[in-house]
Amino acid sequence: MRLGRLGRRGPDVPDEVSSVLGDRARVVLSVSRDERSGADLVATTTHVYAVRSGSVELERPWHMVDTGSWDDQTRLLTVQWVDKAPASVWEVELPSTFPQVLRERVQATVVLSDEVDLGSRRRARVVVRKDLATQALLGQTILGRGVRSTDPGVREETRAALDRLREQVGLD
């Protein structure tokens, strides 16, 4: 078992997972098992990991999570990624704090956000987020369903909206 920051006991981390992650998992907030794949899901202060058969199958910083959804009945946790990588779908072993920790960590990355109306019921979101590992602020543009960056005016409108957010948080 690892010790969390400020002397709090962290969750039980299987020895195999601990040896695979090493120093990458200094402060573990939650550990669960994906019943579908058998992977161990590890939430740290800065990243989410999936470890299976002695190797890291997934290592993503929290600011790369676009959305997450939890279904109580199926115990499925679905995570959509900002970069449009295939969604991760995990059947979380219960009881687990993993879904709540995921929500809290993702919220911790959001500094400021705004929705951009692109007309014809098309939307985009612009977000200033914090990389929890480095504390650096970064801008993200997440296009809504059916919106392409090559559509007329999309780049210009989302860039202007993101520039306004960046100015509000003191980024140039």
Residue that is written with structure tokens 């780049």 in the block:
155
Q: What is the mean pLDDT of residues 74-92?
A: 96
pLDDT one-digit tens code per residue, 29-82:
999 999 999 999 999 999 999 999 999 999 999 999 999 999 999 999 999 999
Q: Say yes or no to pLDDT of 14 above 90.
A: no
Q: Say yes or no to pLDDT of 18 above 90.
A: no
**H or E stretch covering 109:** helix 98-109
Q: What's the pLDDT band for 6 if we cut at 50, 70, 90? A: very low
pLDDT one-digit tens code per residue, 97-125:
999 999 999 999 999 999 999 988 899 99
Going by C-alpha positions, the residue among 75, 113, 92 that lies closest to residue 30 is 92
Residues 6+ apart with CB under 8 A from 116: 123, 124, 125, 126, 157, 158, 161
Q: Say yes or no to pLDDT of 158 above 90.
A: yes
Boundaries of every domain in the chain = 109-168
What is the pTM for the complete model shown?
0.87
Q: What's the pLDDT band for 157 if we cut at 50, 70, 90? A: very high
Mean pLDDT (the chain, rounded) = 90
Q: What's the pLDDT band for 4 if we cut at 50, 70, 90? A: very low
Integer Cα distance of 10 and 78 in angstroms: 24
- Give the per-residue SS3 of 106-152: HHHHEEEEEEEECCCCCEEEEEEEECCCCCCEEEEEEECCCCCCCCC
Q: What's the pLDDT band for 10 if we cut at 50, 70, 90? A: low
Q: What is the mean pLDDT of residues 81-105?
A: 95
Asked if 53 and 65 touch (Cβ cutoff 8 Å), the reply is no
